[in-house]
Structure 1
Amino acid sequence: MDDVIFIDGLQVQALIGVYDFERDATQPLVFDVEMTVDTRSAGSSDALADTVDYAVIAQTIEAICTQSGFALVEALADTIATQLLRDFPIQQLSLRVTKPQAVPAARGVGVRIVRRKESA
């Protein structure tokens, strides 16, 4: 299956980081998500119920970030990927998390992970 639903550049505020100054206030994170989903049913029915609602995906990511206090973007990314694969009909996802303010000389730093749904 090569169908992909994506979200590019989702900006969310989160309390994240290992240094004391990062623990004092939220900072911006940028998420890029690619989800492998079978879109054939939605293509035939034109019904939102037959696909993955990207607005709900964005809300889920925002909720996890709001409730989190992770030190590492790796841990945040893994938590998000685990929940999305558990709660939605996604076979695989690629999740990129960028911290735009982490390294002043860089446009951004972060992590990109790829996860697949476990076989039942």
Structure 2
Amino acid sequence: MTDELAILGIECYGHHGVFEFEKREGQTFVIDLALGLDTAPAAASDDLRDTVDYGSLVLSVKAAVEKDPVDLIESLAQRIADVCLLDARVEWARVTVHKPDAPIETTFSDVALTITRKREGRSD
């Protein structure tokens, strides 16, 4: 059985983008996570050690966004998914990267990319 843990609206400041000014000046990125994991062990024990510590995970995701710039949000989303899958209890991770200040020459509310990655070896 897989349950879903969601962490929404993680605000980070990164220097990602194709254009030089994006790398130089940076901008806000907002990250949404959904993780597939079995929460029954934690529910039974009521012990944080039996589940994903989402406080620590958020700090790791924030650090991943704020480090080495990449050109594409696709690369950034993959980096974040890799961080989420470091915990062996996470069966899959769905990551949405929002880039609300993307350099687009018209009015828009958001640019968002969502990817889903499964732990290697899982086919379901």
Q: Within 5 Å, which residues of 2 pair with 1:1-120?
A: 1-102=1-102, 103=104, 105-119=107-121
TM-score by length of 1: 0.93
The alignment of Structure 1 onto Structure 2 pairs a total of residues equal to: 120
Equivalent residue of 1:52, what SS?
A: coil
Shift of 1:88: 4.4
Which sits farther off after the overlay, 99-108 or 26-35? Answer: 99-108
TM-score by length of 2: 0.90
The percentage of counterpart residues that share the same residue type is 32
- Whole-angstrom distance in 1 between the partners of 2:96 and 2:61: 12
CA RMSD of aligned residues (A): 1.4
- Is 1:30–1:97's contact at 8 Å kept on the other side of the alignment? yes
- Whole-angstrom distance in 1 between the partners of 2:47 and 2:96: 28
**Which runs of 5 or more structure 1 residues have no equivalent in the other structure?**
none
- Whole-angstrom distance in 2 between the partners of 1:59 and 1:67: 12
- Whole-angstrom distance in 2 between the partners of 1:25 and 1:14: 9
Equivalent residue of 1:80, what SS?
A: helix
